[in-house]
Homo-oligomer: A and B are copies of this chain.
Amino acid sequence: MSKTVNIGIIGTQFMGKAHANAYNQLPRFFDTSANPVLHTACSRNREKANEFSEQFGWSKTETDWRKVVANDEIDLIDICTPNHLHHPIVMEAAKQGKNLLCEKPMALNTREAREMHEAAEAAGIIHMMIFNYRYVPALALAKKMISEGDIGRVYHFNAVYYQDWLTDPEFPYVWRHNVKETGSGAHGDMNAHIVDLARHLIGEFEAVSGVQEVFIKERPTGKGNEKAKVSADDATLFLARFRQGALGTFNATRFANGFKNHLRIEIFGSGGSLLFNLERLNELQYFSAGDNPDKQGFRNILVTDRSHPYLEAWWPPGHILGWEHTFVHQFSELIEGISLKKAVTPNFYDGLKCQEVLDSVVTSAQKEKWIPIGIDD
């Protein structure tokens, strides 16, 4: 395993931390054909960059992302910045022929996303989107079960993503409330995840109809009694039709009091159903219509057996994994892809398709009608 992948990470906040941890954990638990090397960490704030590097073992620090992108030693650019920087960094890094990992949502809009996808394809690099919930073992199992026909033809895909950190009107104004920096609020941050899971699990969207709301119109800035106008959505809900015929409901909100990070999915098919809840991410509920009629019921599968996806790498049955493990799983595929020059998923195409759906929801909310999803593919 002498091969290495030198990583330059841009952004050292919450996501930077999660990624850095995963790079460290990866070779301890997975046998990939190359080793990730924590080469350079970049933050506009020098002090933060240093602290982050020391904490997770990055060899160098930078404060200018352009220098990272330009560094010949670096094989992979990992983008954990605020959303409005995804596009410029990707465009520049693709030009430099860097492999790319990008946090979700991909871009501020579909146009940006399309450019990014085209640039990455043109550059012939390996590109990947972080949609780490595909790598929850229970959802990887769900994917396998759906593919193998365990629930038959899917009729319904319902997903919610509930948080409650904005419920308090006194929660202060932050950059996430400003649509210019963030692209959107709950929608881009949370619906991006469940839109991707829907595409991953049952296929492409056909049309959507949504609604968005800012419940608390102004929030305190912390400067005296000043308040700033909130432009990012507190909640975005939408209905969907899928190409394969299913109906869907999607509901992302930061105003679901009592729920911290509650991503829940229900999939109903002709042969059975699947239920999942991120706050109990080691469990998958499965109803099989083929079970003896008197003894049917949702089975609560504890997805911790060695035979379950990714579990052989970890602990014996019943010893549960946490949220952070999803990144290790995803990175095992990324590093392998880069090492073997083999395309991976979810990639920028998936990011683009997700962005199309998100944008169409916004349009539908503005026009108060159903919007078909781009049919150019």
Interface residues of A in 23-49 (CB under 8 A from B): 24, 27-28
With contact pairs A215-B155, A319-B324 given, residues A272 and B247 touching in the complex (Cβ less than 8 Å):
no
The smallest C-beta distance from A187 to any residue of chain B, in angstroms, reads 13
Number of residues on chain A facing chain B (CB within 8 A)? 96
The smallest C-beta distance from A309 to any residue of chain B, in angstroms, reads 9
A279 contacts chain B at the CB level, 8 A cutoff? yes
A297 contacts chain B at the CB level, 8 A cutoff? yes
Closest to A169 in B: B270
Chain copies in the assembled complex: 4
B156 lies within 8 A of A255 (CB): yes
With contact pairs A255-B268, A279-B320, A322-B322 given, residues A28 and B18 touching in the complex (Cβ less than 8 Å):
no
List B contacts of A226 (CB < 8 A): none
Q: Is the interface of A mostly helix, strand, loop or mixed?
A: mixed
B256 lies within 8 A of A273 (CB): yes
A235 lies within 8 A of B247 (CB): yes
List B contacts of A163 (CB < 8 A): 318
A281 contacts chain B at the CB level, 8 A cutoff? yes
List B contacts of A256 (CB < 8 A): 156, 266, 268, 273
Complex Cα gap A287–B257 (Å)? 7
Contact with B along A243-254 (1 / 0, CB 8 A): 001010101010
With contact pairs A215-B155, A247-B237, A323-B315 given, residues A297 and B258 touching in the complex (Cβ less than 8 Å):
yes
B261 lies within 8 A of A249 (CB): no
B323 lies within 8 A of A320 (CB): yes
A259 contacts chain B at the CB level, 8 A cutoff? yes
A282 contacts chain B at the CB level, 8 A cutoff? yes
Which residues of A are interface residues toward B (Cβ below 8 A)?
14, 18, 21, 24, 27-28, 55-57, 141, 145, 150-151, 155-156, 158, 160, 162-165, 167-169, 209-211, 213, 215, 235, 237-239, 241, 245, 247, 249, 251, 253, 255-262, 266, 268-273, 278-289, 291, 293-302, 304-305, 307-308, 314-325, 368-370
Can you list 24 pairs linking A and B with CB atoms under 8 Å apart? A14-B316, A21-B28, A28-B55, A151-B257, A156-B253, A169-B270, A211-B239, A211-B247, A237-B247, A238-B239, A256-B273, A257-B271, A257-B289, A258-B289, A291-B299, A293-B305, A293-B307, A294-B307, A294-B308, A295-B299, A297-B301, A298-B300, A315-B324, A321-B323
